[in-house]
Structure 1
Amino acid sequence: MPLLLKQLKLARFRSHWQPLADQADAQGWSPGQFLYALCEQELEQRQIARQQRLLRGAHLPWQKGLDGFDHQHLEPHHWQELQGLTRQTTWLLQAENLLLFGPSGVGKTHLAIAITMAMAAQDQACRFFPATTLVQLLQKAKAAYDLPAMLQKLDRYALLVIDDISYVRRSELETSVLFELICHRYERKSLLVTSNQPFREWDDIFPSGSMTVAAVDRLVHHCHIIGIKGESYRQKAAAARVSKDSSNPPT
């Protein structure tokens, strides 16, 4: 039996059929009840394994959920909107985008990671990229005359995260591939973009005003826009450490 189950790739069956068979005998289960219990455990294990694969495939820099986010710098309606987005995947199915704006250190990347994790938990394939890393990947594909194939390859992800788009240098070589990505996914697949610059400063990202307008137009057409205000958490933490050290000088 274990050999047959291994060949059928029923891992959970193989490890649990005997204990469940003993339980079925002891409790007088019908064959149908026994088979149902086995199938239920197999499906549960496969779902857990798939979610783990999706999380690994997202290439997150770390894992942090929404519960650990300090939302004091968010407007209450924005916080409610974010919570709602993590609970369902309708916005991905409708190819809607999510833009997170705010100064450095207020938790934009944390939110992007938390949302990615929530979508992976709901069986959605996602991919997280620092903006500069993504641009380098697209540039390499374009240099090899393989950009269309790379854009199609990225279509496997229902959600593509572009973190810190403001750090992309303003040049035709860099931003042209980023613009092509935005155009390619428009009304087809979702983007989550974080930025420490408002739209009015995106001329510093794209080399021409017309390209900026076209990129923003496609991003915001079907979009949720969240603004985060406040002081950098990292700066506050550093200031707290300095204050603590100054109040407790070495002896």
Structure 2
Amino acid sequence: MEATLPILLKQLRLGRFRSHWQSLASQAEAEGWSHSQFLYALCEQEAEQRQLSRQHRLLRGAHLPWTKALADYDHRQRIEPARWQELEALARDPGWLQRGENLLLFGPSGVGKTHIASGIALALIGLDQPCRFYPATALVQELQKARADYALPAALQRLDRYPLLLIDDVGYVRRDEHESAVLFELICHRYERRSILITSNQPFSAWEEIFPSSSMTVAAVDRLVHHCRIVEITGDSHRRAQAASRSQGQRTP
């Protein structure tokens, strides 16, 4: 029986059982465990391993530009305390994803919008919520290619597997980028069904440079903000400040 047990466990895809049952059986015998205690310990290890593997898969599938936690962001003098608490709450509770609500982060370049977006996604992945990060221009190009191949509906449905879709730097999308109307179709497709997190260094008033027409701009913004939280991030660029600090250090004798 013991000779065929590893084969059965492999067929049942119980990897943790297969690699640990013998050592755990020895421990159970030495400590006088009941059969149910032994089985519970095996199941517990298997569940923990599967959860860990799922977390790794979700993290790889998210394509986050980095894995910086939200807590690592220095929000002082950049975000109002009430707004920061709201962001922390969104990272802790995925209920807003279930309701198909959106989050928009506005601010100049270099203030950490992508860090915040990635930090929220990282926290939600820890809560078993699949997320997908895209630079806005890359997403538009991918969707435009799908449209050219008459596969846009299928591409939009594939993105539905992610309760949260992060679109970074939407302000860099321009109307001449092969009909960015596909971005509008994405927004309409996910409206009140799946959540979108958008970062932008451009206010809504400049979004007419993104969509092919002003009416489409109004319709897109209207859908995004219907069930939405908007957070404004202020201050100077982290990158410029760090560059200035390095430059000053190099000049110091």
Following the alignment from structure 2 to structure 1, what is the Cα–Cα distance between the partners of residues 177 and 252?
51
Question: How big is the shift at 1:3?
Answer: 2.2
Q: Measured at CA, do residues 172 and 237 of structure 1 come closer, stay the same or move farther in structure 2, by a change above 3 Å?
A: closer
2:179 aligned counterpart, secondary structure: helix
Matched, 1:246 2:251: yes
- Could you list the runs of 5+ residues in structure 2 that have no partner in the other structure? none
Task: State how many pairs are aligned.
Answer: 248
Question: How big is the shift at 1:207?
Answer: 2.5
User: Is 1:128–1:162's contact at 8 Å kept on the other side of the alignment?
Assistant: yes
Residue of structure 1 equivalent to 2:91: 86
Matched, 1:137 2:142: yes
Residue of structure 2 equivalent to 1:194: 199
Following the alignment from structure 2 to structure 1, what is the Cα–Cα distance between the partners of residues 205 and 170?
14
User: Is 1:13–1:38's contact at 8 Å kept on the other side of the alignment?
Assistant: yes
Following the alignment from structure 1 to structure 2, what is the Cα–Cα distance between the partners of residues 23 and 48?
24
| Counterpart code for 2:158 | K
Residue of structure 1 equivalent to 2:221: 216
Q: In the TM superposition, what whole-angstrom CA distance separates every residue of 1:154-203 from its partner, at most 9, and x where no partner exists? A: 11111111000000012384321000000000001000000001112211
Q: If the length of structure 2 is used for normalisation, what is the TM-score? A: 0.96
Residue of structure 1 equivalent to 2:237: 232
Residue of structure 2 equivalent to 1:44: 48
Residue of structure 1 equivalent to 2:100: 95
User: Is 1:172–1:207's contact at 8 Å kept on the other side of the alignment?
Assistant: no
Residue of structure 2 equivalent to 1:180: 185
User: Is 2:102–2:224's contact at 8 Å kept on the other side of the alignment?
Assistant: yes
User: Is 1:101–1:198's contact at 8 Å kept on the other side of the alignment?
Assistant: yes
Q: If the length of structure 1 is used for normalisation, what is the TM-score? A: 0.96
2:132 aligned counterpart, secondary structure: strand
User: Is 2:179–2:212's contact at 8 Å kept on the other side of the alignment?
Assistant: no
Residue of structure 1 equivalent to 2:208: 203
1:162 aligned counterpart, secondary structure: strand
Q: In the TM superposition, what whole-angstrom CA distance separates every residue of 1:6-59 from its partner, at most 9, and x where no partner exists? A: 221111111211121111111111101110111011001100100110000011
User: Is 2:104–2:197's contact at 8 Å kept on the other side of the alignment?
Assistant: yes
Stretches of 4+ moved more than 6 A in 1? Answer: none
